[in-house]
Chains A and B, each alone.
Chain A
Amino acid sequence: MPIKFPFSRRAAPSDAWTKCPSCDAQVFNRQLERTLRVCPSCGHHFRMSVGERIDLLLDPNSFEERDAGLEAIDRLGFHDDRPYADRLEGSRIKTGLRDAVVWGIGSIDSQRVAIGIFDFRFMGGSMGVVVGEKLARCFETALAERIPAIVVSASGGARMQEGTLSLMQLAKTAAPLVRLDESGVPFIAVLTDPTTGGVLASFASLGDVVLAEPKALIGFAGARVASDTVGEELPDGFQTAEFLLVHGFVDAVVPRGELRGTLSRLLRLLPVPTVADDDHADLDRAWSPIGALSGLAERVGGAVSESIGIDAPGEPSENGSGPSGITVPATSDTEQDRT
């Protein structure tokens, strides 16, 4: 049985060092691990994998992944220089992930949260149907369990290979946030390098609190598109976290070492209002698919909610292997491809 001792590493030199893209310093990889992937000489924040994010932000052993089994389908039969299915497979092998987002329940200083985390290595963190579905379920679970939602984004935007279906994920992920508003459940968006395009143009801009990592690229259109469009040089620091802070679209730029503590503080400062057990109207509101509905029900004497009587869509299945991923009533005759 081969025993690998830590001092007998035979790592190739190219694996042992990483060149900082910001200051050109050669950083020892082991050191990079200890500094949370922040360059020790210039403070450049390297991108993190989803695994490193979980280790960084959540209490040890607290994270339980949900909906791990969701996989994308090539609904368009998309083919550029190679088929979309090949790109997916390549990303799966490279990252060990099934798609660009992992979500689950975890805790930060013992405060339970529903958290979704992007991994940029999976097709540039692009948002297709599976990413949208996982985030929608993350928000719906936050609503149902009355725990705060957090999404850590790192994405180039919508996934072109899924066409307008990926565009529709902007609406699919924004819609549950209306319900969080109505039910008093906070949502914190953490923008990391890069957060652009359709992801920024949906939930990532809609946090009750929006945090960003230093120098992260954050913008709607690619900087190249923007400079092509106006045909002039862009201002210094255009589309960085600091640029957005100055212009009022980010609440705070938080260095990585302080991120976990900052989230913990915010969770304490922005608690989910408690619902009295004997107040059924409010309980209904927390669980109802549409807060406005039960708001209406309260006004007209509770008659409406009974007469509608449907379950909250996307109620999480316990083991991720439930018979139907999402159980949406109505319009099912036009939606043939849902599993």
Chain B
Amino acid sequence: MTDITPAIEAAPPTPEAMEAAWRRVQLARHPQRPRTLDLVPRIFEGFFELHGDRAFGDDAAIVGGPAMLERQPVMVIGHQKGTDTESNIARNFGSPHPEGFRKAQRLMRLADKLGLPIITFLDTAGAFPGPAAEERGQAEAIASSIKLMTGLQVPIVVVVLGEGGSGGALAIGVGDTVLALENSVYSVISPEGCASILWRSREEARAAAAAMRMTAADQLDLGVVDVIVPEPGEGAHTDHAATARAVKTAIMSSLQSMAGRGTAELLMTRYARLRGMGAYLETGAGPSRPPEAPSLRRRIGRLLRLPGVPRRPRWSEIWPSDDGDDESERGA
């Protein structure tokens, strides 16, 4: 079988690794980095933006609509950050509320109905964590978006432009091919968030960024990303037009590679891709069982009808509560 040993020995991130990872994080967050709406007119023609989730409102942190890609109609959906303070406030810094994800779902269903390939652009620090978002079902919106994408009968190409921030990114990031710009990052939680939980200090974000292996190259190695799109010069922010050309070429070749696939093969391959995410050990250990033979204590207890003596084998005997919950072991 294939190797099951870790790719690298666990060790605290070196200062060099921290600097390298952090440089990518900063490039991914660069204020002049091209956003979805910077690239869309350069890649597609006739983009027509559609608004609203038909239930609550329109979320400016996610944009989308049909467009032409070399005479082929496609559906374009992406996170949208602002370029200055004013537009960032209008765009909520690219962090969607549930209505943003529900708008995306609506557009995906339209694409599915008409057989349009879907191109998505990921660039968000994460889904917005505020109370209004919780009230309107942020988790449900992300979950149903992810589920919808796994079953869409059209090709999906995902492009990680800048920050691929956790569930808010994955909500429009399930695809057949995932492209990532060279200096983009993708992570399960922001490096600051990870640092504040595991290192108990936001100042350790560099260490967290390195430990999570969130650069595009790392993601390629992990199999989360399929293709890296090189950036011009010092980074995408230096030349939006050249970045757009590189992204367009990569999208075209991804779509062409899927052109021969029928719907069934497309869905099967997508399912297999997701199903294969991550490695694990399959030890030969058999199923656990609760103690079967009554213990002497139980036998005597039942004979004498003592209180608190279990009558049958109980799973809680092998997996009991210990009331020693370690609250520091948190997830994202």
- List the interface of chain A (C-beta within 8 A of B): 3-7, 18, 30, 33-34, 37, 46-52, 54-55, 60-61, 63-66, 68-81, 83-85, 87, 91, 94-98, 102, 104, 119-121, 123-130, 132-133, 136, 155-160, 162-172, 174-175, 177-178, 196-206, 219-222, 225-226, 229-230, 234-235, 238-239, 247-249, 289-290, 292-293, 296, 304, 308, 310, 313-314, 319-326, 328-332, 334-339
Residue numbers in A under 8 Å from B149 (CB-CB): 171
B247 at the interface (CB under 8 A from A): no
Q: Bound state CA distance, A65 and B288, in angstroms?
A: 6
Contacts of A49 in B (CB 8 A): 316, 319-322
B137 within 8 A of A: yes
Give 26 A-B contacts (CB < 8 Å), ordered by A residue.
Answer: A5-B300, A6-B301, A48-B321, A51-B290, A55-B315, A73-B280, A76-B212, A77-B7, A81-B199, A102-B288, A129-B280, A163-B214, A165-B224, A167-B167, A178-B150, A201-B139, A201-B146, A226-B134, A289-B271, A292-B263, A320-B284, A320-B286, A329-B268, A330-B269, A336-B3, A338-B2
A336 x B2 contact (CB < 8 A) = yes
Say how far A48's CB is from chain B's closest CB, in angstroms.
6
Tell me whether A304 and B306 are in contact in the complex, defined as CB-CB below 8 angstroms, given that A60-B312, A163-B212 are known contacts: no
Contact of B138 with A160 in the complex, beta carbons under 8 Å: no
Residues of B within 8 A of A172 (CB): 274-275, 277-278
Please indicate the chain B residues that have their CB under 8 angstroms from the CB of A158 in the complex: 166, 188-189, 331-332
Closest 7 CB pairs of A and B: A51-B319, A221-B129, A129-B278, A157-B331, A337-B279, A156-B331, A126-B331
Q: Which residue of A lies closest to B126 (CB)?
A: A221
A76 contacts B211, CB within 8 Å?
yes
From B171, B208, B275, B308, residue with most partner A Cβ within 10 Å: B275
- Complex Cα distance, B197 from A222, in Å, reads 11
Contacting residues, chain A, for B314 (C-beta < 8 A): 51, 55
The interface residues of chain B lying within 8 Å CB-to-CB of A76 are: 6-8, 211-213, 222
Instruction: Point out the residue from A95, A175, A289 that lies within 8 Å of B319, measured CB to CB.
Output: A95
Also in contact, A225 and B129, with CB within 8 A (given A170-B146, A319-B286, A339-B4): yes
Q: Does B118 contact A (CB under 8 A)?
A: no
A residues within 8 A CB of B316?
49, 51-52, 54-55
Tell me the minimal C-beta distance from A26 to chain B in angstroms: 13
Whether B194 and A94, one on each chain, are in contact in the complex, defined by CB atoms closer than 8 angstroms, is no
Q: Are B211 and A78 in contact (CB under 8 A)?
A: yes
Q: Which of B230-252 contact A (CB under 8 A)?
A: none
* Interface-facing stretch out of B9-17, B26-34, B78-86: B9-17
User: Per-position contact with A for B261-274: 1 when CB-CB < 8 Å, else 0?
Assistant: 01111011101111
Distance in Å: Cβ of A157 to nearest Cβ of chain B: 3
Beyond A174-B146, A338-B276, whether A156 also contacts B129 by CB under 8 A is no
Of the candidates A84, A98, A121, A334, the one having the most CB atoms from chain B within 10 angstroms of its own CB is A121
Given contacts A77-B11, A203-B143, contact A156 B330 (CB under 8 A): yes
- Tell whether, in the assembled complex, residue A157 and residue B279 are in contact, meaning their CB atoms are under 8 Å apart: no
In this complex, the member of A33, A98, A337 whose beta carbon has the largest number of chain B beta carbons within 10 angstroms is: A337
Q: Which residues of A contact B324 (CB under 8 A)?
A: 94, 121
- Which residue of chain A has its CB nearest to the CB of B330? A156
Q: Is the beta-carbon distance between A133 and B212 smaller than 8 angstroms? A: no
- CB B184 to nearest CB in A, in angstroms, measures 12
Task: Tell me how far the C-beta of A184 lies from the nearest C-beta in chain B, rounded to whole angstroms.
Answer: 15
Least CB distance, B103 to chain A, in whole angstroms? 17
B170 near A171: Cβ-Cβ < 8 Å: yes
A328 pairs with B276, CB closer than 8 A: yes
Q: Kindly list 11 other residue pairs between chains A and B, CB separation below 8 angstroms, not including A164-B187, A170-B146.
A: A5-B300, A60-B313, A65-B289, A76-B213, A78-B211, A130-B280, A160-B198, A174-B150, A198-B188, A304-B264, A313-B272
Which residue from A80, A121, A202, A225 sits with its C-beta under 8 Å from B325?
A121
Q: Check B130 against A290 for contact (C-beta < 8 Å).
A: no
B213:A6 contact, CB within 8 angstroms: no
Q: Is the CB of B320 within 8 A of A51?
A: yes
A4 pairs with B297, CB closer than 8 A? yes
List the A side residues contacting B10 at CB < 8 Å. 74, 77-79, 83-85
Contact A73 B6 (CB under 8 A): yes
Cross-chain contact A292 with B153 (CB below 8 angstroms):
yes
How far apart are B35's CB and chain A's nearest CB, in angstroms?
A: 22
Task: Indicate which residue in B135, B268, B277, B279 contacts A73 across the interface (CB closer than 8 Å).
Answer: B279
**Chain B positions within 8 Å of A290 at CB level:** 264, 267-268, 271
Q: Give CA–CA (A47, B325) in the complex, Å.
A: 9
| Chain B neighbourhood of A121, CB < 8 A | 321-322, 324-326
- Is the Cβ of A120 less than 8 Å from the Cβ of B325? yes
Whether A163 touches B187, Cβ cut-off 8 Å, given contacts A77-B9, A80-B211, is: yes
Q: Which residues of B contact A125 (CB under 8 A)?
A: 331
Question: Can you name the residue of chain B whose Cβ is closest to the Cβ of A293?
Answer: B264
Contact A164 B331, CB 8 Å, known A6-B309, A7-B306, A18-B323: no
The answer to whether the Cβ of B133 comes within 8 Å of any Cβ in the partner chain is yes
Query: Is B277's CB under 8 angstroms from A230's CB?
Result: no
For residue B206, give the distance in angstroms from its CB to the closest CB of chain A: 13
B3, B147, B224: the one contacting A178 at CB < 8 Å is B147
Within 8 A of A (CB), among B192-229: 193-194, 197-199, 207-208, 211-214, 219, 222-224, 226
